[in-house]
Chains A and B, each alone.
Chain A
Amino acid sequence: MLNKKILEGLFRQHYSEMFHLARTLLGADEEAEDIVQDVFVRLMETDIIPEAEGIRAYLMTAVHHGCTNFIRRTSMRQQMESLLPVDDSTDLQPIDQLTERLDAIQAYANEFTEPHRSIFHLRFDENLTLKEIAQRLDMNQNTVYKYLRLGIQQIRLKLRH
């Protein structure tokens, strides 16, 4: 078993970042903590840890895989309600590539002109429905739908390039 003091040191050093990643992928604090704890439990049960330079990547990748496995066990309804992936294609990419892509999406969304930008952020930051966005912005719901769909298409094009 890994020395407790060593494990505690790794825990305190990396927990915040690991938890943030798990919460990003799952959208739920309790599940995120469970995933991160599981990573440390597996680490606790081993005598071998990666070298210092590789430990962060190891831990973050372990979180990533833990989240992917968790999502696989959820029902399609739960996946859809929490906007979780229904297939693995999004989650098969390396962790650095995944986080770079998330940063890029937010950067592209921030470049939108209005009302694209507001509609995008109201949908994905505040989880408003199309009807609620339409009421907030005093717009027709069908118009909100078109703007949102267009914004998603623009992001897709930018990511492809």
Chain B
Amino acid sequence: MDTSNDNIRKLFDMLDNPAAYSEQEIFEIINCDEETRETYRLMVEAKRSSRWTQPQLSVDVDAAWQRFEQKHYPQQRPLHHWMRIAASFIGILFISGIAFAVIHFVRNHSVELQAPQTEETNIELANQEVAAPVRFDDVRLDSILTVVSAHYGKAVSFRSEEAKGMKFIMAWNPDSSLTSLIDVLNMFDGLLLTIQQDTIFVETTELKEDAE
């Protein structure tokens, strides 16, 4: 019968040469008696004690957080430069509370025609029950504001003839606030809209024309 000393020797040898022992032999050696089990347990603690009390290796918490974030939060595709600009612009529009598909700004210096079709469209839109979103396709600003102002219960006053003829392609969400629409339109160079009491005032800031 193996003595306790022999069992401990076997344990040490197994720890130094694990490949030489089968899974079953490992189990039997560790559990052969209480002394051996206790010795193994203390060796586990001694090893852990060594790790615990050694100077902590510097941990790169930033890198660890990045790994965690990439794994557990939705990843965003890398954007090309032009996509970032577009995304920022669209982002600003969404922040403004208005969903725009495309905004295209065309100055029309030469044409002041009130095309009948445009007029009809204007009238049609103004009289319709406005459902979101409303799309203006290359429509003059004065026509757009006719519809918008009616929806918000405001009057419109153009201080610039040129501003009337500015054309836009845009989609407007009537559920958004008038202020947010004004903020977005004011992003265009040369155009300034202000609200005073019940009136929307429109003027250009570059080429001043006497609107009166």
Counting CB contacts under 8 A, is A89 at the interface? yes
B72–A15 contact, CB under 8 A? no
Counting CB contacts under 8 A, is A76 at the interface? yes
Counting CB contacts under 8 A, is B145 at the interface? no
B48–A25 contact, CB under 8 A? yes
Set of chain B residues within 8 Å of A90, measured between Cβ atoms: 41, 44-45
Counting CB contacts under 8 A, is A24 at the interface? yes
Known A37-B71, A106-B53; judge A83-B8 contact (CB<8 A). no
Counting CB contacts under 8 A, is A102 at the interface? yes
A75–B23 contact, CB under 8 A? yes
> Mask for B171-186, Cβ within 8 A of A = 1, else 0?
0000000000000000
Counting CB contacts under 8 A, is A111 at the interface? no
Counting CB contacts under 8 A, is A49 at the interface? no
Q: What is the interface of chain A mostly: helix, strand, loop, or mixed? A: helix
Set of chain A residues within 8 Å of B61, measured between Cβ atoms: 11-12, 15-16
Counting CB contacts under 8 A, is B212 at the interface? no
A84–B8 contact, CB under 8 A? no
Set of chain B residues within 8 Å of A129, measured between Cβ atoms: 16-17
> With the chains together, A120 CA to B53 CA distance in Å?
14
> With the chains together, A10 CA to B17 CA distance in Å?
43
Known A80-B26, A145-B12; judge A101-B45 contact (CB<8 A). yes
Counting CB contacts under 8 A, is A72 at the interface? no
Known A24-B51, A41-B72, A77-B23; judge A105-B65 contact (CB<8 A). no
Of chain B, the residue at the smallest CB distance from A37 is B68
Instruction: Tell me the smallest distance from the CB of A36 to a CB of chain B, in Å.
Output: 8
> With the chains together, A90 CA to B8 CA distance in Å?
19
A105–B41 contact, CB under 8 A? no
> With the chains together, A56 CA to B48 CA distance in Å?
21
B23–A152 contact, CB under 8 A? no
> With the chains together, A83 CA to B42 CA distance in Å?
10
Set of chain A residues within 8 Å of B52, measured between Cβ atoms: 20-21, 24, 99, 102-103, 106
A83–B15 contact, CB under 8 A? yes
> With the chains together, A160 CA to B40 CA distance in Å?
16
Set of chain B residues within 8 Å of A149, measured between Cβ atoms: 8, 12, 39
Counting CB contacts under 8 A, is B38 at the interface? yes
> With the chains together, A25 CA to B37 CA distance in Å?
18
B46–A155 contact, CB under 8 A? yes
Instruction: Tell me the smallest distance from the CB of B121 to a CB of chain A, in Å.
Output: 46
Set of chain B residues within 8 Å of A131, measured between Cβ atoms: 16
Set of chain A residues within 8 Å of B27, measured between Cβ atoms: 76, 86
**Beyond A15-B59, A103-B53, A106-B49: 4 further Cβ-contacts under 8 Å?**
A4-B73, A16-B56, A80-B26, A156-B38
Offer 14 A-B interface pairs, CB within 8 angstroms, sorted by A.
A15-B64, A24-B52, A75-B23, A77-B26, A86-B40, A89-B41, A106-B53, A120-B46, A121-B50, A124-B43, A124-B50, A145-B9, A148-B12, A155-B46
Give the interface of B toward A (CB within 8 A): 8-9, 12, 14-18, 23, 26-27, 30-31, 37-54, 56, 59, 61, 64-65, 67-69, 71-73
Smallest CB-CB A-B distances: 5 pairs: A129-B16, A105-B49, A106-B53, A102-B52, A102-B49
